[in-house]
Amino acid sequence: MRPNKIKEMWRDGKYTTLGWLSIAHGFSAEIMARQGFDALCVDMQHGTSELNDVLPMLQAISQTDTVPFVRVAWNDPAAIMKALDLGAYGIIVPLVNNAEEAALAVSACRYPPDGMRSSGPVRAMHYAGGGDYFEHANDEMIIMAMIETKEGIENLDAICATPGLDAVYIGPADLSYALDMPPRADNPDPTHLATCDKILAAAHKAGIKAVMHCAGAEFAAGAVERGFDMVMLTSDLNSMIAGARAQLDTLKAKTG
Mean pLDDT value across residues 245-252: 98
Confidence of residue 51 (pLDDT cuts 50, 70, 90): very high
0.95 exceeded by pTM: yes
Asked whether the predicted pLDDT for residue 42 surpasses 80, the reply is yes
- The burial class, CB within 10 Å (0-12 / 13-18 / 19+), for 225 is exposed
Question: pLDDT by residue (tens digit) across 6-25?
Answer: 999 999 999 999 999 999 99
Domain residues for the domain of 193 are: 5-255
Number of domains in the chain: 1
In the set 46, 126, 136, 213, the catalytic residue is: 46
The domain that holds 151 is classified in CATH as 3.20.20.60
Q: Does residue 25 carry a catalytic annotation?
A: no
Confidence of residue 179 (pLDDT cuts 50, 70, 90): very high
Mean pLDDT value across residues 135-142: 98
Average pLDDT of the residues of the chain: 97
